[in-house]
Amino acid sequence: MSFKVSLFPGPHHFDATADTTLLQAALDAHLLVPYGCRDGACGACKGRVLTGEVDHGRSPESTLSTTEREQGGVLMCCAHARSDLSIECREVRSAQDIPVRKLPCRVASLDKVADDVMILKVKLPPTEEFQFRAGQYIDFLLPDGQRRSFSIANAPGGDTLELHIRQIPNGLFTSKVFTSMKPRDILRLEGPLGSFFLREAPEQGGDKPIILLAGGTGFAPIKAIVEYMQAQGIHRPTTLYWGARNRAGLYMHELAERWQQEIPGFDYRPVISDEVPDGWAGHKGLVHHAVIKDWPDLSAHQVYACGAPAMIDAARADFMQTCGLPEHAFFADAFSFASDNKL
């Protein structure tokens, strides 16, 4: 049996069966609602049920509290329809133009740029055009059915995807990247995924100045967005904050410095939290605190943030409470851990 789900702001609707998550049903109907991790960890897909009943499925309390549920809150990536529904979402758009595909790819190169960061480049089949928006991510499909998510670090165009992979101790996939993976190995991927990309239309705030906030390998999708802006000649005033524990963690510091020289209106402010080198002229401490220090008023900005979930949560809360950033002007991809129960 299928139920009719209407999304607000409309006019968008789709059918959902009780055994499919609301997110999957929306994506199957080529509707792009905000989402990131697809496993209840990041909160990007949070909406509000206006009418009807849902089964919250595996929605964790940490992402959707009991109080939020009582007020109609819903995680679209976890919940299932139990009746016809109307749901309020932050943003809805047609995804018809960019299909999600499963493709093989070949490892082109592996470059270790820090003790725990590898730049992996993969080549796509020459016959297949892979479209994506700068900032989106792909899932590597592992032989045992598990998936691992990584952001694409280059702008669209060409047949190569660049990924910045942080080694996770005992991590199933990243350990292989650092030990046994080699050029010409074949991998399988699915993508593009996620709703982390630059909002350009004036009604989406596409003329506002931008704060880019990256933690560690959260630099990857930010790099893609900057390269895209460069290629398109988008010169909105942009300030990039890139945070790492030590100088080595800013593994493309020189590139970011070059952007500052070359791109009109682009400013780069690196931030080191732990092992601050002698003579360091940049910010020290938590990366989002550096933003608050420099921009006590963010009410006219858009923020694009990417990195560890704790950083994203703290930045969202502090920017809204302390700096007056409107909730709809904060876009984020939280690098949550993989779990076996993804879509």
Ligand X SMILES: Cc1cc2nc3c(=O)[nH]c(=O)nc-3n(C[C@H](O)[C@H](O)[C@H](O)COP(=O)(O)OP(=O)(O)OC[C@H]3O[C@@H](n4cnc5c(N)ncnc54)[C@H](O)[C@@H]3O)c2cc1C
Polymer length in residues for the chain: 343
77 touches, from ligand X, ligand FES, none (C-beta below 5 to 8 Å by class): ligand FES
Work out whether 60 is an interface residue with ligand X (CB under 6 A).
no
Interacting residues with ligand X between 32 and 51 (CB under 6 A): 36-37
Q: Which does 172 bind (CB under 5 to 8 A by kind): ligand X, ligand FES, none?
A: ligand X
Q: How many CA atoms does the CB half-sphere of 304 hold within 13 Å?
A: 27
Q: Which is nearer to ligand FES, 41 or 87 (CB)?
A: 41
Given 25, 26, 32, 43, the residue binding ligand FES (CB under 6 A): 43
- What SS3 string covers the chain? CEEEEEEECCCEEEEEECCCCHHHHHHHCCEECCCCCCCCCCCCCEEEEEECCEECCCCCCCCCCHHHHHCCEEECCCCEECCCEEEECCCCEECCCCCCEEEEEEEEEEEEEECCEEEEEEECCCCCCCCCCCCCEEEEECCCCCEEEEEECCCCCCCEEEEEEECCCCCHHHHHHHHCCCCCCEEEEEEEECCCCCCCCHHHCCCCCEEEEEEHHHHHHHHHHHHHHHHHCCCCCEEEEEEEEEHHHCCCHHHHHHHHHHCCCEEEEEEEEEECCCCCCCEECCHHHHHHHHCCCCCCCEEEEEECHHHHHHHHHHHHHHHCCCHHHEEEEECCCCCCCCC
Return the residue of 63, 217, 238, 273 that touches ligand X, per CB under 6 A: 217
Contacted by 174, from ligand X, ligand FES, none: CB < 5 to 8 Å by type: ligand X
Residue 63 or 174: the one with the smaller Cβ distance to ligand FES is 63
Query: Which is closer to ligand X, CB of 219 or CB of 295?
Result: 219
CA–CA dist 107, 96 (Å, integer): 29
Residues 66-105 vs ligand FES: string with x where CB under 6 A?
A: ---------x-x----------------------------
Cα-flanking dihedrals φ and ψ of residue 315, to 5°? -65, -45
Which one among 24, 63, 167, 217 touches ligand FES, defined by CB under 6 A?
63
Shortest spacing between CB 223 and ligand FES, in angstroms: 22
**Which CB, 32 or 49, lies closer to ligand X?**
32
**Between residue 151 and residue 180, which ones bind ligand X under the rule CB under 6 A?**
151, 164-166, 168, 170-174
**Of the two residues 81 and 250, which places its CB atom closer to ligand X in the complex?**
250
Contact 58, 41 (CB under 8 A): no
Which of the choices ligand FES, ligand X, none does residue 24 contact, using the CB cut-off of 5 to 8 A by kind?
none
Q: Least distance from C-beta 127 to ligand X, angstroms? A: 26
Tell me which of ligand FES, ligand X, none is bound by residue 240, counting a contact when its beta carbon lies within the kind-specific cut-off of 5 to 8 angstroms.
Answer: none
Question: Which distant-in-sequence residues (6+ apart) come within 8 Å of 146 by Cβ?
Answer: 172, 338, 340
**315 binds ligand FES per the rule CB under 6 A:** no
Instruction: Kindly state the tokens that stand for 249.
Output: 């963690």
Q: Which is nearer to ligand X, 63 or 151 (CB)?
A: 151
Contact positions toward ligand X, by CB under 6 A?
Answer: 36-37, 137, 148-151, 164-166, 168, 170-174, 194, 217, 220, 333, 335-338
Footprint of ligand FES on this chain (CB under 6 A)?
Answer: 35-38, 40-45, 63, 75, 77
